Amino acid sequence: MKMQEATYFMLQQLRSVYPDGEASQVTDWVLEHVTGSKKAERMLYKNSEITPGEELQLQQFAERLLHHEPVQYVLNESWFCGLKFYVDKNVLVPRPETEELVEWIISNCKFPVAELKILDIGTGSGCIPVTLKRRIRKAGVWSCDISPGALEVAKRNAFSLGTDVHFVQLDFLDEEERNTLPNFDIIVSNPPYVPEKDKEQMQPNVLAWEPATALFVPDNNPLVFYEAIAEFCLKHLEKNGSLYLEVHEDLGSAVTGLLQAKGFYSEIKKDMQQKDRMIRAGLL
């Protein structure tokens, strides 16, 4: 199979499950991963033969993608803030909105940072704490998660990206467990916030493959994690410290109301799509 034929094969396969633009993008990711060549190079050598091993891998990847498995899981990689993270079914695929949250934290970071302590709640792939440690190297960074599988992925990413992050396994909804953590200057979280009722509207590549415990909250208590985080901050957020949260686009006002009722000031920030997706807060 020639390079051009391999590209056409993958593109035709993916058009049955993806819109044309997305099928083209995923094809580029897969071909670059399999062949090690970027698009311009593949076009230059379009008549070159790919190896039998590459052809087999391409066919295996296509089969998985046709079952709506996210391409990031198929390739075991996802880019976040310019860094390549390992991902698998134990963690959510990092989203662009979360990159915006991280950049907001960094832009508001007060220097010097040698004594700065940061906590990320719900580490997942480790994209938030690892990126913060890479960008604010002198800060002490902690991160916690209930999932042993997620913590293994996060530790793998911290090691491969050369960062020293202190990971802790605990159930943050358990008050006794979360209170074993020390105090912090910055607390950040992208917690589960999708109401169960929204499942029907979600894409199959999310619903069937990404970990439900990292996505969904009960319809009758969608703010359960924000409540726990606010209570934790009352005891563990240092004076003049900041809390950063990613929120469901329909829950921004509800979360700020919850925070204000507990004695926080807060502000909502819109993402690139002009949706209310981020909150910064602190104690009055």
Per-residue pLDDT band at 113 (split at 50, 70, 90): low
> Which pLDDT score is estimated for 198?
87
CB 87 within 8 A of CB 153: yes
Please give the average per-residue pLDDT across 202-216, as a whole number: 86
CB half-sphere exposure, 12, CA atoms < 13 A: 7
Cα separation, 245 vs 183, in Å, equals 17
What is the predicted pLDDT for the residue at 60? 97
More confident residue, 111 or 61: 61
User: Residues 6 or more apart from 283 whose CB is under 8 A from it?
Assistant: 233, 234, 237, 239, 241, 263, 264, 265
Please tell me the number of Cα atoms within 13 Å of 210 on its side-chain side: 23
Residue of 23, 145, 154 lying closest to 87 (CA atoms): 154
Higher pLDDT residue, 208 or 25? 25
- Count Cβ atoms below 10 Å from residue 71 Cβ, excluding itself: 22
Alpha-carbon Rg for the chain, nearest whole angstrom, is 21
What local confidence, expressed as pLDDT, does residue 51 receive? Answer: 95
Cβ neighbours for 121, distance < 8 A, ≥ 6 positions apart:
143, 144, 172, 187, 188, 189, 191, 225, 229, 232
**Structure confidence at residue 203 (pLDDT):** 83
Four-point Cα dihedral 4, 8, 9, 13, nearest 10: 160
Report the percent of the chain where pLDDT is more than 70: 99
The answer to whether 152 touches 126, Cβ cutoff 8 Å, is no
Average pLDDT over residues 235-248: 96
Is residue 118's pLDDT more than 70?
Answer: yes
What's the rounded mean pLDDT across residues 276-284? Answer: 96
